[in-house]
Structure 1
């Protein structure tokens, strides 16, 4: 039986792959998402509402001429449908690829460092195997939020998801959905709230997710009221500025 200490126990069972293949898929996605997908991959990116609020977040990988979106398994079909709305008459196929899975290791030499934060560990795409253990606890210990439960569905502005600090946005690429508000917030330094990880307490209006087994929760707090939130170096530097 494979356990958490076995090198093969690396599959993130809560993730899935959506494959984009066909005519100029990089150009297609470039005009929709927050990060630059025309250069080196993987990158962390999001599809936003026109108001600049997070709908889906994912990592974008290259597979030859295709693109692979490393996304939440529970959101994979919804993400594929949303992207299909923008496809129009382009000869592009957008579908979940169950022959591949997302793999993670806290250390080692497989894969590449997570583009959000190297301390998150290493990540790669391969056929599915035994499930990994410890990913959520490790991610939260570093103050990193992801997914619809924590980010919300059109509830949180992308920069409030710490996208600037975690390399989830390009301010030099061309237009994308939700760019106007995102760029305005950046240039005016108007990120008044942040998604943060904090010790588990009484849930309130700003609580997004609770993890009783880990003694942690994710909240959407004002910058001046971060209180007992975990403040890793990347977040401390951001709010100090």
Structure 2
């Protein structure tokens, strides 16, 4: 049996099993469209604190990874990221879309000034993997037949005020140089795994979880899986300089702190937070058939009155992601995208409103 080498005070995870006889249900997929930067130096934590929406103190207090966003000065999303704590003090990995890696590195160097911080591109040196169970999808909490009861229009919940819905330990684990991190957004997204560039999926399956199958080459099951859950990721779903962090569910995904102090782009996010309501959010949308050709980005999503209630942000086969007007989309009798009928749902992982949280919907017809 392999000997586990845990990172410092990290508590072992429960995914490592050997000689299991259960049928393979989980999938391992190399996220070739995601890359890593390594940021190191004595001032790294305070440096990143002034650039990201989340609070570096989560990592300092023991969290292994953290979801966050980098914003521009107007409060728009530049890069969605996952930050990873490593076994080395003052050394962090930043995961982002590969197409944004050079721009993010330049962004960090621009604000580094005279700080003694190294920012290294790990492209070609490390791989990022997703380990997930595509069948582990809960029914969304608000049934479409109950839309008459909807009074909450996307209330904002600070990440540190939410009950921990992840259901997982905040710890990480290392197995033969394979670093395993629970996805910091929520439990159904599974795990992120960081390895060196020579590691293959079979190495991970052998050492981590034998109840796993490798994803077919050229097929993004993980993207379809994310869309079914209603989670946006990368430049396609969150176009740099256009998306807003709260409309992108950054708060619901534990990616923004409203108590940490100043950071670039904070003003608009804080002002929206103080209104208490946001009317548009990314939501999962399912088409009634698989389009023969990819649908255009930002296609209107129409209700039965031919009123646009959202925009299509991407799709993988019949599963898509839409930036939706929450109430209008949920109360619509039916929806249409191009020539396809569509269904929208409220993600189960959104915080559930209580009578104390409810707000009246104000319509501006």
For normalisation by structure 1, the TM-score amounts to 0.86
User: Any idea what SS the aligned residue of 2:344 has?
Assistant: coil
Change (3 A) 1:221 1:7: closer
Structure 2 gap segments, 5+ residues each: 1-23, 134-172, 174-178, 202-213, 216-220, 289-294, 301-309, 331-342, 359-365
More helix by share: 1
Q: Could you tell me which residue of structure 2 aligns to residue 37 of structure 1?
A: 56
Query: Is the partner of 1:75 in helix, strand or coil?
Result: helix
Instruction: Work out the CA distance in 1 between the residues paired with 2:312 and 2:26.
Output: 35
Instruction: Name structure 1 gaps, 5 residues minimum.
Output: none
Q: Does 1:17 align with 2:36?
A: yes
Q: 1:152 to 1:238 in 2, by over 3 A?
A: farther
Cα deviation per residue 1:5-31 (whole Å; 9 max; x = unaligned)?
799954321111111122311110011
- Residue aligning to 2:211: none
Q: Does structure 1 conserve the Cα–Cα contact (< 8 Å) formed by 2:224 and 2:320?
A: no
Residue 81 of structure 1, aligned match among 106, 109, 112 = 106
**RMSD across aligned C-alpha pairs, in angstroms?**
2.6
Corresponding residue number in structure 2 for 1:46: 69
Spell out the pairing of 1:148-159 with structure 2 (5 A cutoff): 148-159=235-246
CA contact (8 A) 1:9 1:130 kept: no
Conserved in 1, the CA contact under 8 Å of 2:33 and 2:97?
A: yes
- Give SS of 1:237's match: coil
CA distance in 2 between partners of 1:225 and 1:236 (Å): 19
Contact 1:61 1:69 in 2 (8 A): yes
* Counterpart contact for 1:195–1:221, Cα < 8 Å: yes
Aligned-pair distance for 1:236?
7.1
Contact 1:161 1:195 in 2 (8 A): yes
Q: TM-score, normalised by structure 2?
A: 0.59
Which structure would you say has the larger Rg? 2
User: 1:118, CA displacement in angstroms?
Assistant: 0.9
Q: For 1:150 and 1:217, locate their aligned partners in 2 and report how far apart those are by CA, in whole Å.
A: 10
Q: Indicate which of 209, 216, 220 corresponds to 2:319.
A: 216
